[in-house]
Structure 1
Amino acid sequence: MGPSSIDDFISRLAAVESTPGCNNFFDHSVPGNALRRHNLAAYLGDMLDRAPKVLLVGEAPGFRGMRLTGVPFTNRTMFQGAANAFGLFGAGHRYVLPPEAATVPAEPTATVMWEVLAELDFLPVLWSACPWHTHVPGQPLSNRTPKPAEAELGTPFWQALTRIFPIETVIAVGNVAHGSLRRTGLDAPKIRHPAHGGRARFKQGLQELLAGGMAQ
């Protein structure tokens, strides 16, 4: 697999229609979404070079995180500051912060995610069970737990990532992802989501999987 598979992946992702409560921020209806497609291509390309064997599947993008940047578990400050411990993101790299993100408070879950990954020196591919922004209809600046049908619509995309990358293990981050993966027949391990005070248990769960050889 190579760059052409990433281009095809993003094209298919962008083709999914938005609904009143589920915003596809990659589609071609909004000119600014081109920057998010660009950023996602940059991220997947960078990860392709690193050949990760683990895919971490979360819930859905938040309106202060991936909804703005186009990259899973990232926020405004990651794009504006220095590159992280893995040499990803940061000012001067090829990622571009969309103008509308400039004044939005940073999504804290993204910061916690990358802090823990750096502490463990562990770099998986990050994704979401529902890769579009689910929100309360009429309230675009809100987050809503994806419905099973919305997560099901996202299933072909995390499955495609297991073919684009040399994935050996898929890990569910939280209940939504775990339910989504199990509905496909995949008995994936589940760890605590890092949001809402879950940092310690999220890190502990990853440490246990690493120690047991399930994540490398």
Structure 2
Amino acid sequence: MSERKHTAKYLFIAEALGYQGGHFTGIAMTSERILLGYQQEKYGVKPAHVFKSERPNRTSRPDLIEKGMSEPTATIMWGALTDMNINPYEVVLWNAVPWHPYDPDKGLLSNRTPLAGEMEAGLKHLKTFIGLFNKPKLVAVGRKCEQSLSELGVDYIGVRHPANGGAPKFRRQLSELTQLN
């Protein structure tokens, strides 16, 4: 975060860490495949877009997933930032619920919608996180995050979450948002 603390123009905040991305990387909307450099050729996303001062370490098992876990939301987010030539060091990604809610019946490699209590517990962390930066534009990625930011009483711009068929609208809204600056 120190690489972005003074340069962040946008905080993109989504719902919660997913099992294919943040569960393994600890970074919102970022997958191992991005950190390990396997998204460069197809999507133009380089590990240095995420951070320069750290060397990534994989946490998934190479014998199960050779190139690391890949998350659709992460691929769409980072791909859009790259396609639109948005300086990745002007962007910080975060979640309203900064941990991974999973279905206990299905195990850690599952996702579930955060419970109301989890959303509420995330508010204090979200407020603290936002306070670390010098007035960036807050971008709510999806309705759940819009609810969290509304509860905090902060100004934000809402965009469609890119998952489940929302990628085209998300890209269009991201393009419109960045053209305003």
Of the three residues 172, 177, 180, the one matched with 1:209 is 177
Of the three residues 90, 100, 119, the one matched with 2:83 is 119
Quick check: 1:151 aligned with 2:119? yes
After superposition, give the CA deviation of every residue in 1:85-131 in whole Å (9 maximum; x if it has no partner). Answer: 582359x9522112x35326411211111000111222311001111
Quick check: 1:106 aligned with 2:78? no
The SS at the match of 1:206 is: helix
Structure 2 CA distance for partners of 1:107 and 1:77, relative to 1, 3 Å: same
Q: CA RMSD in A?
A: 2.5
- Between the aligned partners of 1:128 and 1:181, the Cα distance in structure 2 is 11
Of the three residues 81, 84, 90, the one matched with 2:37 is 81
Structure 2 CA distance for partners of 1:169 and 1:114, relative to 1, 3 Å: same
Q: Normalization by structure 1: what TM-score?
A: 0.69
Farther-moved stretch of structure 1 (55-64 vs 101-110): 101-110
- Between the aligned partners of 2:156 and 2:81, the Cα distance in structure 1 is 19
Give the total of aligned pairs. Answer: 168
- Between the aligned partners of 1:101 and 1:75, the Cα distance in structure 2 is 14
* Counterpart in the other structure of 1:177: 145
Amino acid at match of 1:117: L
- Between the aligned partners of 1:51 and 1:177, the Cα distance in structure 2 is 23
* Counterpart in the other structure of 1:18: none
- Between the aligned partners of 1:186 and 1:113, the Cα distance in structure 2 is 23
- Between the aligned partners of 2:49 and 2:57, the Cα distance in structure 1 is 13
Of the three residues 49, 56, 60, the one matched with 1:95 is 56
After superposition, give the CA deviation of every residue in 1:118-157 in whole Å (9 maximum; x if it has no partner). Answer: 1122231100111111112232221111123212211222
Tell me if the contact between 2:12 and 2:140 (Cα under 8 Å) persists in the aligned partners. Answer: yes
Runs of 4+ in 1 over 4 A off after TM superposition: none
Deviation at 1:158, TM superposition (A): 2.4
* Counterpart in the other structure of 1:63: 19
* Counterpart in the other structure of 1:45: 2
Q: Where in structure 2 are there 5+ consecutive unaligned residues?
A: none
Tell me if the contact between 2:37 and 2:46 (Cα under 8 Å) persists in the aligned partners. Answer: no
- Between the aligned partners of 1:200 and 1:61, the Cα distance in structure 2 is 22
Q: Which has the higher contact order (CA 8 A, sep 6+)?
A: 2
Which structure has the highest helix share of the two?
1
- Between the aligned partners of 1:158 and 1:179, the Cα distance in structure 2 is 12
- Between the aligned partners of 1:78 and 1:72, the Cα distance in structure 2 is 12
